[in-house]
Amino acid sequence: MAEEIGTIEKANSKMAIKVRVDEYNGKAYADIRNYYLNDDGDYAPTKKGVAFYSVEDLSQAILFLQAAREKLAATLAKKAA
């Protein structure tokens, strides 16, 4: 059932962040995880990441990320002025 939603490749790095929806032991979850480029040239998962097993928890995280985006944009705008 694994479905990759999107990948953010980090500039000048062999790392990426992947967002996926998958299933483990019969439980569906959304996963946001760091991946590294291995010797074969494929991305492999690291232990750094977070899995959401409920829509409510994922929704709350999305709200927090949106607030962080707004705060970061405002901070960067102040520094650029």
pLDDT for residue 31 = 97
Tell me, which fold does domain 3-80 have in CATH? Transcriptional Co-activator pc4; Chain A (2.30.31)
CB contact set of 73 (below 8 Å; sequence gap of 6+): none
Low-confidence ranges of the chain (pLDDT < 70): none
pLDDT for residue 1 = 79
Q: In what order do the strands lie in the sheet with 43-52?
A: 3-9, 15-24, 27-37, 43-52
Classify 26 as helix, strand or coil.
coil
d(Cα 74, Cα 66) in Å, to the nearest integer?
A: 12
pLDDT for residue 12 = 84
pLDDT for residue 32 = 98
pLDDT for residue 73 = 97
